[in-house]
Amino acid sequence: MSTQRIRVKICGLTREEDVRVAVVAGADAIGMVFYEGSKRCVSLEQARRLRDCVPAFVDVVALFVNAQASFVREVIDVVKPDLLQFHGDESPEECRAFSRRYLRAFRVGAPGLDTPDAVVKETSRYADAAGWLFDSYSAGYGGSGLALDPALLAGLPGQAVAKILAGGLRPDTVQAHVSQLPFRPYALDVSSGVEVSPGIKSPERIQAFMQTVARV
Ligand SMILES: O=C(O)c1ccccc1N[C@@H]1O[C@H](COP(=O)(O)O)[C@@H](O)[C@H]1O
């Protein structure tokens, strides 16, 4: 039986040169953060320029945290993302309001999301998502570099929705994180683990991350 390759999204890009490095290294998706509370937040104009560096067959993902619907629509119009990523407290209705494919992020370990049953119940509310993205719980909304507890992901349905692991992945730890999961992830999402500072990526770390994942 063949094992499906694990896809990679590199998130929090702010510079054109980093987008090009990510694409050449084989990233399947690149993410841009539209959240003013993040040091990786990009402007609409910056995002449009980054988007223009992305060739066919690489997805552009726009990440939001409790954004106004009008702002999400503006990003859709200007940047034309392939996927939306909701990383805040958005309800299923708010995620569906744009009739776009979306990733739903879960801050695993947060109050109310701190048992396997609670995770299963919460994910089931977003059964129409294109992917469930499991991030760790931290004081901010994400991009913390902290890893989640894989035991909290036990009991999720097999094939229902693509499962994406995020949170504290690095070139030297990603293999161990994947092996501790109760399932084989569809994809991985990395931001701080391939950076030299928030929003500034390291070509060496991106390449090392991609090479390691290709062997997992
Ligand atoms: O990157 C950010 O600044 C960010 C801000 C708000 C919500 C999510 C954010 N990033 C996402 O967080 C996870 C984990 O990131 P890390 O690898 O631990 O740094 C990932 O999905 C990022 O896209």
> Tell me: the pLDDT tens digits for 53-108?
999 999 999 999 999 999 999 999 999 999 999 999 999 999 999 999 999 999 99
* pLDDT at residue number 1: 53
> Tell me: the pLDDT tens digits for 117-159?
999 999 999 999 999 999 999 888 877 889 999 999 999 988 7
Among 10, 84, 87, say which to mutate for ligand 1: greatest number of ligand atoms within 8 Å of CB: 87
Average pLDDT over residues 168-184: 96
Could you tell me if the CB of 31 is within 6 A of ligand 1?
A: yes
- The answer to whether the beta carbons of residues 142 and 87 sit under 8 Å apart is yes
What's the longest Cα–Cα distance across the chain? 47
Which ligand 1 atom sits closest to the C-alpha of 87? 7
The catalytic residues are: 11, 135
The domains found in the chain, sorted by start residue, are: 7-215 (3.20.20.70)
Could you tell me if the CB of 192 is within 6 A of ligand 1?
A: yes
144: helix, coil or strand?
A: coil
- The answer to whether the beta carbons of residues 34 and 67 sit under 8 Å apart is yes
Which ligand 1 atom sits closest to the C-alpha of 12? 1
Among 7, 9, 63, say which to mutate for ligand 1: greatest number of ligand atoms within 8 Å of CB: 63
pTM listed for this prediction = 0.95
63 Cα–ligand 1 center, Å: 9
